Amino acid sequence: MSETMTILLMVLLTIGVFIITIHIAGWKMRRAGDFILRDLKEKKAFDPASAVELPYAKSSLFHFGLRDYRPKALNALMENGDVRVLEGGRYYLREGHRLTGTGGGEAA
């Protein structure tokens, strides 16, 4: 195999690995978001009066083990408007929110 073909193959392999990595990270974020929505639904946090604290809301500076996508997924859900936060760091689902995907159903 020529040197040009080897370089081209390595570049294509690198691009393929990058694309697969992006898809895996997106899949994990979606899973973390679904977990948060299910958790809030199970805790019946549907309005400010029933808002709950979430132990995984803040990421730790010294974390050992696998990456935890829940804090970033929670921020994305808040930016989307699916989850609302109160002053004291308590979270609840917005009114009329419906869970989608596996294990979903109507939340409110």
| Nearest alpha-carbon partner for 53 in 10, 88, 99, 81 | 88
User: For residue 51, is it within any domain?
Assistant: yes
User: For residue 100, is it within any domain?
Assistant: no
User: For residue 9, is it within any domain?
Assistant: yes
Provide the CA 107 distance to its chain's centre, in angstroms.
18
User: For residue 74, is it within any domain?
Assistant: yes
Whole-model pTM: value is 0.73
User: For residue 43, is it within any domain?
Assistant: yes
- Domain extent, residue 58, equals 3-93
> Which pLDDT does position 32 carry in this prediction?
92
User: For residue 23, is it within any domain?
Assistant: yes
> Which pLDDT does position 99 carry in this prediction?
56
Amino acid of residue 13:
L
Burial class (CB in 10 A: 0-12, 13-18, 19+), 45: buried
For residue 69, give the 3-state DSSP assignment.
coil
Q: How many domains is the chain built from?
A: 1
User: For residue 64, is it within any domain?
Assistant: yes
For the chain of 108 residues, list the mean pLDDT of each consecutive stretch of 10. Answer: 93 97 95 92 88 81 78 89 87 72 42
